[in-house]
Amino acid sequence: MDIRQVQKQLAKFAATRDWDRFHSPKNLCMALVGEVGELTEHFQWLTEAQSRQLGADRKRAVGEEIADVLIYTIRLADKLGIDVERAVRRKMKINAKKYPATRARTVLGD
Amino acid sequence: MDIRQVQKQLAKFAATRDWDRFHSPKNLCMALVGEVGELTEHFQWLTEAQSRQLGADRKRAVGEEIADVLIYTIRLADKLGIDVERAVRRKMKINAKKYPATRARTVLGD
Amino acid sequence: MDIRQVQKQLAKFAATRDWDRFHSPKNLCMALVGEVGELTEHFQWLTEAQSRQLGADRKRAVGEEIADVLIYTIRLADKLGIDVERAVRRKMKINAKKYPATRARTVLGD
Amino acid sequence: MDIRQVQKQLAKFAATRDWDRFHSPKNLCMALVGEVGELTEHFQWLTEAQSRQLGADRKRAVGEEIADVLIYTIRLADKLGIDVERAVRRKMKINAKKYPATRARTVLGD
């Protein structure tokens, strides 16, 4: 998936519908929150083990929420002029330094 | 950005650190919530107009949060065996039907 | 409203339905996230000015989401053995020190 | 805890600091999201069992986040003119109808 192409499609989609007036970064951030809330509702009463083995229907529904999360995140980055690829690559480097592999079995949250 | 390649890198990163035991979809969903919370904190007291014109420092910090959101979302999809590209493409088609361009100036939230 | 009484009612409500097995603090936290997501969806496309002047229907719906947020938060505190009143009073004192009134017109987020 | 008294204290606290211009319901909702994100970070890598047995330090930190969540929720309700007590009582009645106790062992999420 070429994210820049998705950004362009989303931008065109919004422009055609005259949605740019709604799509301030502040509003898009809130829309993202709403989608993450819907995603969370799928997992809230599941055990961790159950969450690793979703049935087909649930998996499809979760896939739709994940798509919504990605769409709003990519759209938000586009409106802010943030280069998503560069940001992700940079963050992965930061994480590699922060959690060196040599400290095997690093415990998260410590 | 090739999302499948990012997925592989994230999977390797987690495996090397023995993090798979923590990375249940339920837990990854919660980690995503935490990152979206941090992203939201950047925008909470800004007006919409201010959110459209972030300064360089704020923009860099927001870019880092957006990267975190994407990383956890992509990782979550990978652990669930969800094809992100396909999910996004399908959702964009659903949205195109739901909000036809011919209904110009569709009001969101109605 | 006596929060301790609400806690008791919610505990009884859950016990009668055999929900305690679902009501781990981790799960209740996720349920809270879901409700906050639903609350956010009401505000995402509104301007700040519009959010200050909700119509009657929207206000009723928002009131219901606020109730859900409070119910899960109070239930979470109960399951953790956290004294809500004491926690709120302590936090208000911390905030009073952190943001002294003498620094008039403190700008939030600085 | 008398929620109306807390509302008055929070209103006075904000007024003294000239914060009402920031405290639109939209912004308060986002501030609530940020606090719920911080709360979630405490639980994201814990098992459900671990979340039921927090250590003293973690419990104190979680209590502070819960207080923040309540403070912003109560403040939001106040700015909207929503009677929190009435909203909670009404919602508990709705839930009692929605999940009758006679349907013992109701499975959540179904």
Chains that touch D (3 or more CB pairs under 8 A): A, B, C
C61 Cβ under 8 Å from any chain A Cβ: no
- CB contact under 8 Å between D22 and B33, yes or no, is no
pLDDT tens digits, A44-79? 999 999 999 999 999 999 999 999 999 999 999 999
User: What mean pLDDT do residues C79-88 have?
Assistant: 95
pLDDT at D109 over 70: no
From chain D, the residues in CB contact with C36 under 8 A are: 32-33, 36
What does the pLDDT read at residue C70?
Answer: 97
A24 Cβ under 8 Å from any chain C Cβ: no
pLDDT band at A1 (very low <50, low <70, confident <90, very high): confident
**Cβ(D7)–Cβ(B10) under 8 Å?**
no
- CB contact under 8 Å between C109 and B45, yes or no, is yes
**Spatial distance between the Cα atoms of C65 and C36, rounded to a whole number of angstroms:** 7
**Cβ(C13)–Cβ(C46) under 8 Å?**
no
C55 Cβ under 8 Å from any chain B Cβ: no
A49 to chain B: nearest residue by CA?
A: B24
What does the pLDDT read at residue B106?
Answer: 55
From chain D, the residues in CB contact with C40 under 8 A are: 29-30, 33
**Spatial distance between the Cα atoms of C46 and D83, rounded to a whole number of angstroms:** 22
What does the pLDDT read at residue B101?
Answer: 84
- CB contact under 8 Å between B24 and A80, yes or no, is no
Task: For chains A and D, count residue pairs whose Cβ atoms are closer than 8 Å.
Answer: 19
CB hemisphere CA count around D103 (13 angstroms): 9
pLDDT tens digits, B27-48? 999 999 999 999 999 999 999 9
Q: Name the stretches of chain B with pLDDT < 50.
A: 110
**Cβ(A104)–Cβ(B17) under 8 Å?**
yes
Per-residue DSSP letters for C85-106? Answer: HHHHHHHHHHHHHHS-TTSTTP
What does the pLDDT read at residue C15?
Answer: 96
C44 Cβ under 8 Å from any chain A Cβ: yes
User: What mean pLDDT do residues C24-32 have?
Assistant: 98
**Rounded to whole angstroms, what are the CA distances from A73 to A24, A38, B13, D41, D73?**
13, 15, 23, 20, 26
Mean pLDDT, all residues of chain D: 93
Mean pLDDT, all residues of chain C: 93
Joined together, the tokens standing for residue A12 give 């065109």
pLDDT at C39 over 70: yes
What does the pLDDT read at residue A101?
Answer: 84
Chains that touch B (3 or more CB pairs under 8 A): A, C, D
From chain B, the residues in CB contact with C30 under 8 A are: 26, 29-30, 33
From chain B, the residues in CB contact with D43 under 8 A are: 30
From chain A, the residues in CB contact with D108 under 8 A are: 45
Task: For chains B and D, count residue pairs whose Cβ atoms are closer than 8 Å.
Answer: 45
Joined together, the tokens standing for residue B60 give 């860099």
Task: For chains B and C, count residue pairs whose Cβ atoms are closer than 8 Å.
Answer: 19
pLDDT band at A110 (very low <50, low <70, confident <90, very high): very low
What does the pLDDT read at residue A100?
Answer: 92
Q: Which of C22, C26, C28, C33 to mutate to test the interface with A (most CBs of A within 10 A)?
A: C33
- CB contact under 8 Å between D73 and C69, yes or no, is yes
What does the pLDDT read at residue B110?
Answer: 47
C37 to chain B: nearest residue by CA?
A: B33
pLDDT at D3 over 90: no
Q: Which of A30, A33, A57, A108 to mutate to test the interface with D (most CBs of D within 10 A)?
A: A33
- CB contact under 8 Å between A34 and C22, yes or no, is no
Q: What is the dihedral of CA D70, D65, C108, C43, to 10 degrees?
A: -50
CA A19 to chain centre: 21
Closest Cα of chain D to C60: distance in Å? 8
User: What mean pLDDT do residues D36-57 have?
Assistant: 98
**Spatial distance between the Cα atoms of B21 and A107, rounded to a whole number of angstroms:** 11
pLDDT band at C40 (very low <50, low <70, confident <90, very high): very high
What does the pLDDT read at residue A34?
Answer: 98
pLDDT at D56 over 70: yes
From chain D, the residues in CB contact with C15 under 8 A are: none
What does the pLDDT read at residue D110?
Answer: 47
User: What mean pLDDT do residues D55-82 have?
Assistant: 98
pLDDT at D45 over 50: yes
What does the pLDDT read at residue A109?
Answer: 53
C50 Cβ under 8 Å from any chain A Cβ: no
pLDDT tens digits, A24-36? 999 999 999 999 9
pLDDT at A104 over 60: no
**Cβ(C89)–Cβ(C82) under 8 Å?**
no
Coil, strand or helix: which one is A67?
helix
Q: What is the dihedral of CA D31, D33, D38, D43, to 10 degrees?
A: 160
